[in-house]
Amino acid sequence: MSGTSLDGIDIVYVHFEKKEKWNYKILNSITYEYSKDWLNKLKNSLNLSEKNLTKLDQEYTILLSKQILKFIKEFSIKDIDAVSSHGHTIFHDPQNKYTYQMGNLPEISKEIGYKVICNFRNQDIKYGGQGAPLVPVGEKYLFSEYDSCINLGGFSNISKTIDGKLIAYDICPVNTVLNFLSKKMNLDFDKDGAISKNGKLIKDLYAKLNKLDHYNNNYPKSLGIEWVNSNIIPLLEQYPNQIVDLLYTYSCHIAEQVSKNTINETNVLVTGGGAKNKFLIDLINNKLNNIYLNTKVTSISNLKQSVKVTMESDEKKLSENYDKVLISVGRTPNTDNLSLDNVGIVMSKEGFVGVDEYRRTNIDNIFAIGDITGNPMLAHKATHEGKVAAEVCTNIPSAFQPQVIPAVIFTDPEIAWAGKTEEELTSDNIAYEKSEFPWQASGKAIAMDRTEGKTKILFEPDSKRVIGVGIVGYNASDLIGEAALAIEMGCYSEDIALTIHPHPTLTETFSNAAEVMEKTITDLYIP
């Protein structure tokens, strides 16, 4: 066979045997590299006329025949049941029931004198498949001990069993793109990912790549060079002078897509030319590091160059070696060394200092603020507490009585909330109504290409008073302040909906969400 990465013609002599299960043994294998002439012919085959493509197919069939005979002679092979020929893919458009494999003409059987099994992609599409990948049955019987099998070739593909059904599909382009970028540096490929690892992430490109429609489609699905040329290359060409950064960014993209398709899998077989890319494999391994939920650590022991951790989960015992282990069990107040008990200050069993609304402890002339007073342990809460305490100390009427304290997780995208959450309201059996505005309908978000966000408002069912707000999206930390003010002021959905917000801004998403509740929204079609 010949892959889209054009490494050469791969030929292998294999013995299969079935006892309790199918076993195999590779007796001989080799890759015959293409000459420069053939590399150019295959690269340019997409642009050939029908007549010239037919001619090239005949020539390539003869080339494959000669290489097969060369292989047989080179390794003195005598016993051959059949020759399986994949050929070389020129066109692949399974959505339109079309694929074209070159090198599988009847002449191949006449030339080599053996039974030939070929046209795998065509047959697969004929019976409703995508024509790729073509090895899931083999992987099922030969590598059943793995949760899934991933090939990192010109394209990455995966096969695994889901709900008792064997499935396989293409994940994303790999060497097809990496080699394309390497050739811009006059290299056939980036050996070991040595160049890629020195790059920097191009964040906007990384986001655009991960948003491509293919990744949201359900299987079955496959990819071809046509899709790469239409969807990937135009994005890369926006950064003509950043080849190293492009290699790094695209490698991160591959790792992201592979990891998304192997969630909760602990035993994955990785093959293909991309498996030799050390940097790419490191990226994938970092993405695939298992996240164990409902798991108890039973022991941690130091080894010479690693830390061994043993765990128990669902009656399973696990063991992993790590470079480092971070133990995070929450925060405890550093009150132990303050000798607060000597002056009679009351503390909780966890060590937090009790205070009233004026930030006084149980001793009138001693105040406490910040994390030492308990949750929420946030800097903006501590700042407000400090102002209250200072005012009380100087006999200015003041008290710490916030209706809400907004919280932010500074991820990308950011997550921010203020007031009640749906989980809290449901747990307390409190009725509520909600309205949401997706950022896909926000002019500002579209202009920024940050449409992955959402603004959600929770209301009292009857009065429509705001009781909670959640925002996920770019700069959510800057937007949540208005939400906190709305809750503090006791705003109703109508108050927010009738407040004119500047356009185009992300703040509009707040008034838009209120308009959804008021049924006055014009930016969305809601039947």
- In sequence order, the 6+-apart residues with CB closer than 8 A to the CB of 98 are 91, 92, 125
Residue of 53, 45, 109 whose CA lies nearest to 82: 109
**Cα gap 486→488, rounded to integer Å:** 6
Amino acid at 145: E
Enter the DSSP assignment of 367.
Answer: B
Q: What is the dihedral of CA 385, 390, 391, 393, to 10 degrees?
A: 120
Radius of gyration of the chain (CA): 31
For residue 207, give both structure tokens: 């986001």
Given the residues 86, 92, 214, 503, the one annotated as active site: 503
Angle (CA) 158-163-164 rounded to 5° is 85
| DSSP string across 79-115 | --S-EEE--EEEEEEGGGTEEEEES-STHHHHHH-S-
Q: What is the dihedral of CA 216, 221, 224, 226, to 10 degrees?
A: -50
Sign for the CA dihedral angle at 518, 520, 526, 527 comes to positive
For residue 161, give both structure tokens: 């069993």
- Contact yes or no for 166/216 (Cβ under 8 A): no
**Cα gap 46→233, rounded to integer Å:** 16
Q: What is the dihedral of CA 444, 448, 449, 453, to 10 degrees?
A: -60
Which strand ranges, in their side-by-side order, compose the sheet holding 307-313?
296-302, 307-313, 316-322
Distance from CA of residue 400 to its chain's centroid? 43
**Cα gap 353→224, rounded to integer Å:** 64
**Cα gap 356→358, rounded to integer Å:** 5
**Cα gap 240→253, rounded to integer Å:** 18
**Cα gap 299→308, rounded to integer Å:** 8
Our answer to whether residue 503 is catalytic in this structure is: yes
C-beta atoms surrounding 351 within 10 Å: 15
- Contact yes or no for 476/453 (Cβ under 8 A): yes
Residue of 49, 69, 77, 53 whose CA lies nearest to 9: 69
**Cα gap 233→212, rounded to integer Å:** 13
DSSP H or E stretch at residue 203:
helix 203-210
Catalytic residues: 503
